[in-house]
Chains A and B, each alone.
Chain A
Amino acid sequence: MPASFDDFFFTYQALIYGVGVNGLLALSMYVVLAIGQLSLGQAAFMGIGAYVSALLTVKLEAPFAVALGAGMLAPALAAAIIGVPTLRLSGVYLALATIGLGEVLRIFYLNSETAGGALGLPGIPQQGGAWLIYLCLAIALFVFMAIGRSRIGRAMEAMREDETAASVMGVNVPLYRFGALVASAVLAGLAGALSADVSSFIGPNEYGFDQAVTILSYALLGGIGSPFGPVLGAIILTLLPELLRPLHDFRFVVNGLIIVIAVLYMPRGLLAWRFRRIGPAGEARP
């Protein structure tokens, strides 16, 4: 490896990790939006994944694979507890139930001695690295591409268009809702576990409301016409504040604005970039 590449990697290390992790988070948002639902618990699920895997690694010295697995399983459990009763209700209930999860968990992390309280958890050894993050991102993208062309993908698209019609056509709506929610929690948990692995430190305030809305802005910037849209949105919104330093302080303002503009004027995403095929007008409105 040439020295210049090493320098480059070292300088932009955090950014390289950030792009991959945020790409995974954007995909975790995509799964739910793709069936016309909205979960605002992505940041909380990420936090659960980060804390569970970091605690297992630091306190119990569990093998890395076990820590990663638990970091995906735990948020899925949390998602099931919150999500299952909303499966047959209007989508508003899932959104409202998940939006509060992050704050409650923040209180929990802050007051739990095991979780390090306000100081967070330092000294997490790096066992994976950038390659693992991007491998996971590539696998997730590939799986979503494959699903998109299958029976499942068609059913998801039908649900996004019109849930009633989809259920009349024989789509098991509650089952799909459950599957999407669990898959999204698993992905967000994986992103959290991987980010904890590469950042050596996690704190209680990183998984709150701002982060949850930011994850949504990735998906809406890219549009949910294909799984590549949200990932592209995540890449842009992670790099942009670094390239334009003055933008850094206002990045949440920008993220909020993107959501407003995307929903009102560009329901296909600000980057109306469709990979597969062009649908009828208004098709991708979440």
Chain B
Amino acid sequence: MLAQQLANGIVAGSTYALFALGFTLMFGVLRVINLTYGFYFSAGAFLALYLTAAGAPVWFALPLASILIGFGAILLDALLLTRLRRARAPELASLMVTLGATLLLYSTATAIFGTDIRRFPPAVFEGGAFEIAGVRLTLSQFLIVATAAASVAVLLFVMQGTRIGLAIRALAENSDATQLMGVNAGAVMRLVSFISGSLGALAGILVGLNYNAIQPYMGEAMMLKGFAVIILGGLGDIRGALIAGLAVGLLESLTAGYAASTWKDAVGFVLLVLTLWVRPAGLFGRAPVRRA
């Protein structure tokens, strides 16, 4: 029983970590809280749904949807934030503009698709389940954990071990100096938008596949967990996002198992407020807490 709870927690936690990864990367490098990020989660799931419904094989449709949303993220970033970046507007201005865009996108999507729950066509993802030491895992749950682990590993490798990663980290540190060193800041920013958009979409696709319930506002609920995860992990901290994501998932699962399942969704928010009181720099205290 406990083992199953823990396994469920790790699966949920992996989705939070995967989702928060792109979100925290975006803040760490681009210095904006981009609230449209949650919409990439919904959009990814919808796109994957339509691609598979149109007959695309699932192994092709899922990565394609994720990549397309990545390009969408570049476009949205350019539309919403270029002007503010050029004017060096305060970060709350970019938060507000993406907030407005989020409401715009969600309500448009709801007007078009309605709020009905949609499902992948049957037999799109014949998983079956397997049992390890009394713990039941479906294939899609296994896929979620593996994807999250692989994404963190690849992202950490890219950030720490490649020249592109060096450019990204330099940009996060000091954008003016980085440009003077000959880095094409615009290109690096677009790359970061692309990576984080694809990660958000990927999380949405996998969650959609796992629960097989897709509706426009699914990204909004995820976003609230995302806030908790990135603040608990430290804003901009990739490893922090992984650990915090797993922590939120495990705590939720234990709350559902041993207290009441209705309070599961409050766990993230309580952790967020506690973090702000106790340790605003996040679990590892590495995130730069910018004082007023």
Residues of chain A at the chain B interface (Cβ within 8 Å): 36-38, 40, 81-82, 84-93, 95-97, 99-101, 103-104, 107-108, 110-111, 163-164, 167, 173-174, 177, 209-210, 213, 216-217, 220, 249-250, 252-253, 255-260, 262-264, 267, 285-286
Contact = CB atoms under 8 A, between A and B. Distances in A.
Given A263-B96, A286-B96, A256 B102 contact: yes
B91 A107 contact: no
A103 B104 contact: no
Interface in B50-88: 80, 83-84
B153 interface: no
A227 B116 CA distance: 41
B96 A216 contact: yes
Contact of A263 (B93, B105, B106, B290): B93
A255 B103 contact: yes
Given A40-B99, A100-B227, A103-B224, 11 more contacts: A82-B276, A85-B280, A88-B292, A92-B33, A104-B266, A110-B262, A167-B292, A209-B103, A210-B103, A252-B107, A253-B104
Contacts of B92: 36-38, 91-92, 95, 286
B111 A250 contact: yes
B224 A174 contact: no
A286 B276 CA distance: 24
B152 interface: no
Contacts of B273: 81-82, 85, 97
B104 to A, nearest CB: 3
B91 to A, nearest CB: 6
A175 to B, nearest CB: 12
Interface in B125-167: none
A250 B112 CA distance: 11
Contact of A88 (B228, B262, B291): B291
Contacts of B104: 252-253, 256-257, 260
A142 to B, nearest CB: 28
B258 interface: no
Interface of B: 33, 80, 83-84, 89-93, 95-97, 99-108, 111, 220-221, 224, 227-228, 231, 235, 262-263, 265-266, 268-269, 272-273, 276-277, 280, 289-292
A257 B80 CA distance: 11
B224 A100 contact: yes
Main SS of chain A's interface residues?
A: helix
13 contacts: A40-B99, A82-B276, A88-B291, A89-B291, A97-B231, A100-B227, A100-B269, A216-B99, A250-B111, A253-B108, A259-B99, A260-B101, A267-B93
Q: Which of A177, A264, A267, A286 has the most CB of B within 10 A?
A: A264
Q: What 9 pairs between A and B have smallest CB-CB spacing?
A: A259-B100, A256-B104, A256-B103, A252-B107, A85-B276, A90-B290, A263-B97, A260-B100, A104-B269
Contacts of A96: 33, 227, 231, 272
Nearest to A112: B262
B78 to A, nearest CB: 12
A209 B93 contact: no
A263 B268 contact: no
Q: Which of A40, A257, A263 has the most CB of B within 10 A?
A: A263
A262 B291 CA distance: 27
A167 B80 CA distance: 31
B292 A173 contact: yes
Nearest to A255: B103
A38 B100 contact: no
Nearest to B220: A209
Contacts of B91: 90-92
B228 to A, nearest CB: 7
A95 B291 CA distance: 15
